[in-house]
């Protein structure tokens, strides 16, 4: 039986404050509280609350036949726990239906695996515990920040007990094979892989309101028709996108809510099709083949690699200096220090320093609070300088 597997990534970074060179040694809190709250409130009103209500209503309407997954990042959990309990309760109501799976990821929405396997594991465990305590779900499926994936990462994820993992359905790993099947990572015995159908996913996430797109306007009926045309032996259509697609990236005026209101009915209109969560899809479908990916892939930009975060010398410099601090940070055994170090690990900070402006530039600029990648780097390095000094000075004091 073919199935549609819908997963929404829910994430807002803890953006950093404007931090001047002259603030180093004087200011030790790094978050832009006001800006983060402003954006959280905006996204809550435009997306999280109305989209949550819509999805809940659809689940009730279809009595369990409409199912999907969320992955909520640690920085967003921090923010809704602190400022928007109503948003958190909305997610908890969805969890209570039993129709929504909550995935696990690195708690700081970080690139830790690329620098420190130890820190990676610590963050996954922390996120798993938070999801368990907030939503009462045991982690079954793992997805890495920005859908980053590699053979080595798959091995680590399997070792931590996960049975399903998500990745980008790029030709780089698929060759000419279809993304609409369940695969097994090369060399793994228990872990299964679900690959994003990027064409169908991006039809909604990026092209939905594009008037120059020949398929505009996209209706749920048309979209369901495309899905129904997929060959039956290709069993799983993975539609992975940002949750903010509903109402924030695509505004309400585009008709995005109507689209999602009608989508479950249109998909289920064809009796052979059903919705499944990633865990269910991985459990019910056999692996159709092996996937090998010695290097890292992701869902970002045309390159589908890690160059959006670590592509230039400034990004690599910032990341290396941050992870070089690991022993000193752990040596402190101090909660606040650890928390600050982890806030600085969020991948968005590195994304803002990306200079691939001429091809993918517009997407980067839309999401960046900085005037240029150079400003982003300067700001980050100023904060890192202060953080590094505070870690090291404290260490000296400990030796006294």
Partner 1 sequence: MTLHILMFGWEFPPRMSGGLGTACYGLTEALTGLGHRITFVLPRDGEANAAPFLDLRSASDIPVSDADRDLGTETLLRPLTFRSFPSLLRPYLHPRHYHTLYLSERRRAPETATVYGPDLIAEVLRYSRAGGILARTLSFDMIHAHDWMTVPAALLARRISGRPLVLHIHSLEYDRSGEAADERICAIERAGLERADRIIAVSHRTKRMIVERYAIDPQKIFVVHNAVSRAEARRTGRDREFGKRKMVLFLGRVTFQKGPDYFVEAASLVLRDLPDVTFVMAGEGDMLGPLIERVAELGIGDRFHFTGFLQGEEIERIFSLSDLYVMPSVSEPFGISPLEAMLYDVPVIISRQSGVAEILKHALKVDFWDVREMAAKIIAVLKHPVLARAMTTQALDEIRKIRWENAAERIVSAYRELAPK
Catalytic residue numbers read: 146
What DSSP letter does each residue of 20-66 carry, written as one string?
A: -GGGTTT----B-HHHHHHHHHHHIIIIIHHHHHHHHHHHHHTTTS-
Backbone angles phi, psi at 205, to 5 degrees: -65, -40
Cα separation of 191 and 184, whole Å?
A: 6
How many residues are present in the chain? 400
Choice between 51 and 318, CB closer to partner 1: 318
Contact call for residue 334 and partner 1 (CB under 8 A)? no
Give the nearest distance from C-beta 314 to partner 1 in angstroms. 5
What DSSP letter does each residue of 311-370 carry, written as one string?
A: SSHHHHHHHHHHHHTHHHHHHH--HHHHHHHHHTTBHHHHHTT---TTTSHHHHHHH-SS
Choice between 213 and 374, CB closer to partner 1: 374
Instruction: Please name every residue paired with 291 in a beta bridge, in sequence order, or none if there are none.
Output: 185
Cα separation of 127 and 76, whole Å?
A: 12
Half-sphere exposure of 65 (CA within 13 A, CB side): 15
Give the nearest distance from C-beta 356 to partner 1 in angstroms. 10
**Would you call 97 helix, strand, or coil by DSSP?**
coil
Give the nearest distance from C-beta 387 to partner 1 in angstroms. 16
Choice between 23 and 33, CB closer to partner 1: 23
75 sits in which H/E element: helix 74-83
Cα separation of 395 and 310, whole Å?
A: 30
**Would you call 236 helix, strand, or coil by DSSP?**
strand
Question: Pattern of binders to partner 1 over 7-26, x per CB under 8 A?
Answer: -------------xxx----
Give the nearest distance from C-beta 372 to partner 1 in angstroms. 7
Give the count of residues interacting with partner 1 (CB under 8 A).
Answer: 18
Take residue 35 and report the two structure tokens written for it.
């800006």
Question: Pattern of binders to partner 1 over 284-323, x per CB under 8 A?
Answer: ----------------------------xxx--x------
Choice between 345 and 379, CB closer to partner 1: 379
Question: Pattern of binders to partner 1 over 338-377, x per CB under 8 A?
Answer: -----------------x-x-------------xxxxx-x
Task: Enumerate residues 253-282 that contact partner 1 by CB under 8 A.
Answer: none
Cα separation of 346 and 111, whole Å?
A: 7
Choice between 22 and 366, CB closer to partner 1: 22
Contact call for residue 45 and partner 1 (CB under 8 A)? no
Choice between 31 and 375, CB closer to partner 1: 375
Choice between 254 and 312, CB closer to partner 1: 312
Contact call for residue 378 and partner 1 (CB under 8 A)? yes
241 sits in which H/E element: strand 236-242
Q: Which of 173, 282, 381, 391 binds partner 1 (CB under 8 A)?
A: 381
For the chain, the straight-line distance linking the first and the last C-alpha, in angstroms and rounded, comes to 68
Give the nearest distance from C-beta 361 to partner 1 in angstroms. 9
Q: What is the CA radius of gyration of the chain?
A: 21
Give the nearest distance from C-beta 365 to partner 1 in angstroms. 10
Take residue 187 and report the two structure tokens written for it.
């060399």
Give the nearest distance from C-beta 371 to partner 1 in angstroms. 7
Residues that bind partner 1 (CB under 8 A): 20-22, 312-314, 317, 355, 357, 371-375, 377-378, 381-382
């Amino acid at each position: 039986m073919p199935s549609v597997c819908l997963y929404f990534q829910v994430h807002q970074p803890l953006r950093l404050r404007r931090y001047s060179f002259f603030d180093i040694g004087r200011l030790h809190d790094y978050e832009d509280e006001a800006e983060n709250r402003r954006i959280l409130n905006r996204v809550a009103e435009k997306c999280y609350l109305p989209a949550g209500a819509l999805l809940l209503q659809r689940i009730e309407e279809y009595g369990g036949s409409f199912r999907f997954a969320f992955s909520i990042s640690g920085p967003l959990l921090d923010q809704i726990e602190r400022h928007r309990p109503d948003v958190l309760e909305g997610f908890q109501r969805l969890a209570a239906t039993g129709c929504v799976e909550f995935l696990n990821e690195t708690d700081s929405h970080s690139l830790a695996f690329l620098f420190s396997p130890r820190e990676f594991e610590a963050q996954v465990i922390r996120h798993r515990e938070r999801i368990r305590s907030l939503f009462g779900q045991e982690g079954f499926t793992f997805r890495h920040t920005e859908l980053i994936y590699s053979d080595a990462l798959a091995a680590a994820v399997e070792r931590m007990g996960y049975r399903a993992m998500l990745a980008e359905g790029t030709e780089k790993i698929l060759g000419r094979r279809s993304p609409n099947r369940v695969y097994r990572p090369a060399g793994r015995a228990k872990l299964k892989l679900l690959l994003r159908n990027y064409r169908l996913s991006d039809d909604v996430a990026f092209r939905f309101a594009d008037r120059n797109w020949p398929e505009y306007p996209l209706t749920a009926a048309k979209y369901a028709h495309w899905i129904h045309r997929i060959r039956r032996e290709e069993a799983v259509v993975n539609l992975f996108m940002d949750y903010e697609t509903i109402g924030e990236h695509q505004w309400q005026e585009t008709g995005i809510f109507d689209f999602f209101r009608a989508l479950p009915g249109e998909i289920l209109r064809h009796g052979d099709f059903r919705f499944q969560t990633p865990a269910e899809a991985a459990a019910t479908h056999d692996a159709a083949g092996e996937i090998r990916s010695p290097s890292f892939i992701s869902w970002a930009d045309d390159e589908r690699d890690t160059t959006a975060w670590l592509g230039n010398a400034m990004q690599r410099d910032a990341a290396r200096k941050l992870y070089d601090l690991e022993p000193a940070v752990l040596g402190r055994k101090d909660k606040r220090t650890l928390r600050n170090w982890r806030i600085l690990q969020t991948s968005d900070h590195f994304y803002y320093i990306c200079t691939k402006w001429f091809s993918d530039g517009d997407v980067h600029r839309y999401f960046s609070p900085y005037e240029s990648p150079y400003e982003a780097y300067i700001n980050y390095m100023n904060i890192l300088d202060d953080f590094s000094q505070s870690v090291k000075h404290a260490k000296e004091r400990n030796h006294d």
